[in-house]
Amino acid sequence: MAEYNNELITAAVSPEDKRFFKEMGARIAQLRKEQNLTQQQLADELELSQQIIASYEIGRRRIPVSTLPKLARTLGVSIETLIGEEQAPAKRGPTPKLQRHMERISQLPKQQQRFLLQMIETALAQASR
């Protein structure tokens, strides 16, 4: 079976393809758990259902190529990591969870952004004492 627009369709799937999607699903599940995300939270981020995420994680559904960039960003990894390709060590940066929060904050009105920045600066100042 293959997926098109999140609907299952019949197609010939080689044993290698089946193994690939099972392994990728297992990586997605592991990365999701490392981020302390539930299947429902990941589904919400991707605007999908929890059942589709579960199907991806067990390799029953193929993940559309168009979903890979957002999935990778949400999990804080490269697309290469999702598909199991080796890559050079990434630069150190914010954790994926922090990155998601920063993206959400950047979408808030400027007044709310300033308020949150003041709260963060206050907390950091107190922590450095």
The rounded distance, in Å, linking the Cα atoms of 56 and 49 is 11
Tokens standing for residue 82: 């999702």
Residue located via tokens 């599940």: 29
48 contacts 6 by C-beta, under 8 angstroms: yes
Tokens standing for residue 93: 């940066």
> How many residues does the structure list for the chain?
129
Q: What is the CATH number of domain 2-83?
A: 1.10.260.40
Query: Per-residue pLDDT tens for 72-109?
Result: 999 989 999 999 886 655 566 667 777 778 888 888 88
**For the chain, domain boundaries:** 2-83, 96-127
The rounded distance, in Å, linking the Cα atoms of 46 and 101 is 15
Instruction: Return the number of other C-beta atoms located less than 10 Å from residue 122's C-beta.
Output: 10
Digits of tens for pLDDT over the chain (129 positions)? Answer: 444 444 443 457 788 888 999 999 999 999 999 989 999 999 999 999 999 999 999 999 999 999 999 999 999 899 999 998 866 555 666 677 777 788 888 888 889 888 988 888 898 888 887
C-alpha closest to that of 38 among 21, 53, 27: 53
